[in-house]
Amino acid sequence: MNSQYGTLGQFATPDALLQAIRQLRRESPAMQLEAYTPYAVEGLSAALGLKRNIVPAATLAGGVLGGLGGFLMQWYAAVVSYPVNIGGRPLNSWPMFIPAAFELAILGAALAAVASMLVANGLPRLYHPIFNAAHFNLATRDQYFLCIRADAAEHSFETMSKKLMELGAHTVVEVRE
């Protein structure tokens, strides 16, 4: 299968990339765009229309579950499973459970954040068609790339290539799957 994945335009500056994205969004809001840059570009996520992901909510849930799990584990051990009265204090002396519960909350949040980040990014991905594009290795150094996905029926390389050149791309290549 050697179908078209999209059309990739190479831009020299982040401002040119952002202007091209905004212009394409005005012309066709449903167009699927992907941007590749060597560093974070302010306003890129908003221009692409990216939605919020699950990482913050999963991190909170992992932290809460880790903290509650640690607290309940210690409570069960001290009160139900092996109750030992030391120094006349109550079996359910919750302040002594807080340090370990706090540490387990941090551990749970960290593990949930890493796992949800991997899921949200679709990793591990060992192959992506964009890696075969000419000069794409410059995306990690000093160039900015915009890929127009070929999901739409009206997408043709000639049309999209012309559009990207009009928007300031200095190189346009076709990306094949």
Domains of the chain: 4-52+127-176 (3.30.70), 55-121 (no CATH)
Contact assessment for residue 85 and residue 91, using Cβ atoms and an 8 Å cutoff: yes
Sign of CA dihedral 24, 26, 27, 28: positive
Q: What is the mean pLDDT of each run of 10 residues along the chain (177 residues)?
A: 83 95 91 93 92 95 98 95 86 91 98 96 87 87 91 77 92 90
pLDDT for position 153: 58
pLDDT for position 166: 93
Whole-angstrom distance between the N-terminal and C-terminal Cα of the chain? 7
Degrees (nearest 5) of the Cα angle 78, 79, 83?
70
Query: How many other CB atoms are there within 10 angstroms of residue 133's CB atom?
Result: 23
pLDDT for position 137: 86
pLDDT for position 2: 59
Contact assessment for residue 117 and residue 55, using Cβ atoms and an 8 Å cutoff: yes
pLDDT for position 134: 85
Supply the pTM of this predicted model: 0.75
